[in-house]
Amino acid sequence: MKILVAIKRVIDANVKVRVKPDSSGVETANVKMSMNPFCEIAVEEAVRLKEKGIASEVVAVSIGNQQCQETLRTALALGADKAILVKTDDALEPLAVAKTLKKVVEQEGPEMVLLGKQSIDGDNNQTGQMLGALLGWGQGTFASEVEVEDGKTKVTREIDGGLQTIELKLPAVVTTDLRLNEPRFASLPNIMKAKRKPLDEIALADLGVDTANRTETISVENPPERSEGIKVESVAELVEKLKNEAKVI
Amino acid sequence: MTTLVIAEHDNSELQASTYSTIAAAKELNGDTVVLVAGHNCQSVAEQAAKAEGVDKVLLAQAEYLEHLLAEDVEKAVMAQEGDYSHILAPASTFGKNMMPRISALLDVQQISDIIAIESDDTFKRPVYAGNAIATVKSNDAKKVITVRATAFDALATEGGSASIENVDAGTHTELSNYVGEELTESERPDLGTARVVVSGGRGMGNGENFEMLETLADKLGAAVGASRAAVDAGFVPNDYQVGQTGKIVAPELYIAVGISGAIQHLAGMKDSKVIVAINKDEEAPIFQVADYGLVEDLFKAVPELIESL
Ligand SMILES: Cc1cc2nc3c(=O)[nH]c(=O)nc-3n(C[C@H](O)[C@H](O)[C@H](O)COP(=O)(O)OP(=O)(O)OC[C@H]3O[C@@H](n4cnc5c(N)ncnc54)[C@H](O)[C@@H]3O)c2cc1C
Ligand SMILES: Nc1ncnc2c1ncn2[C@@H]1O[C@H](COP(=O)(O)O)[C@@H](O)[C@H]1O
In tens digits, chain B (309 residues) has pLDDT values of 999 999 999 999 999 999 999 999 999 999 999 999 999 999 999 999 999 999 999 999 999 999 999 999 999 999 999 899 999 999 999 999 999 999 999 999 999 999 999 999 999 999 999 999 999 999 999 999 999 999 999 999 999 999 999 999 999 999 999 999 999 999 999 999 999 999 999 999 999 999 999 999 999 999 999 999 999 999 999 999 999 999 999 999 999 999 999 999 999 999 999 999 999 999 999 999 999 999 999 999 999 999 999
Interval A231-249 mean pLDDT: 97
Residue A137 touches chain B, beta carbons under 8 Å: yes
Residue B265: partners with Cβ closer than 8 Å, 6 or more residues away: B201, B227, B228, B242, B243, B244, B256, B259, B286
The domain ranges of chain B are: 2-166, 196-307
Pairing of strands B116-119, B111-114: unpaired
Amino acid identity, residue A49? L
Query: What pTM does this model have?
Result: 0.98
B124 near B133, Cβ under 8 Å? yes
Domain covering A2-244 assigned CATH 3.40.50.620 in the classification: yes
Say if residue A17's pLDDT is above 90. yes
Q: Do A248 and B252 touch (CB under 8 A)?
A: yes
Contact list, B235 vs chain A (CB under 8 Å):
none
Contact list, B264 vs chain A (CB under 8 Å):
13
Integer-rounded Cα Rg, in Å, for chain A is 21
Q: Is the dihedral of CA B251, B256, B259, B262 positive or negative?
A: positive
Which one of B127, B228, B253 has the shortest CB-CB distance to A121?
Answer: B127
Give first-to-last CA distance, chain A, whole Å. 57
Distance, CA of A69 to CA of B91 (rounded, Å): 33
pLDDT of residue A216: 98
CATH number for the domain whose boundaries are B196-307? 3.40.50.1220
The preferred substitution site among B128, B191, B209, B264 for testing ligand 1, maximizing ligand atoms within 8 Å of CB, is B264
Tens-place pLDDT, residues A21-48: 999 999 999 999 999 999 999 999 999 9
Say if residue A74's pLDDT is above 90. yes
Residue A73 touches chain B, beta carbons under 8 Å: no
pLDDT of residue B66: 98
Tens-place pLDDT, residues A194-235: 999 999 999 999 999 999 999 999 999 999 999 889 999 999
Buried b (16+ CB within 10 A) or exposed e, B240-264: bbbbbbbbbbbbebbbbbbbbbbbb
- Mean per-residue pLDDT over chain A, rounded: 97
Helix/strand/coil for A37: helix
pLDDT of residue A228: 83
Quick one: pLDDT band at residue A141, thresholds 50, 70, 90? very high
Interval A118-131 mean pLDDT: 98
B2-166 and B196-307 agree in CATH topology: yes
Which of these, B142, B100, B135, lies nearest to B1 by C-alpha position?
B142
Architecture of domain B2-166: 3-Layer(aba) Sandwich (3.40)
The domain ranges of chain A are: 2-244
Ligand 2 site residues, Cβ closer than 6 angstroms: A 6-8, 36, 38-39, 42, 62-64, 92, 94, 97, 115-116, 118-119, 122, 124-128
Give B233 Cα–ligand 2 centroid separation in angstroms. 27
Residue A95 host element (H or E): helix A94-108
Distance, CA of B308 to CA of B276 (rounded, Å): 16
How many C-beta neighbours within 10 Å does residue B112 have? 27
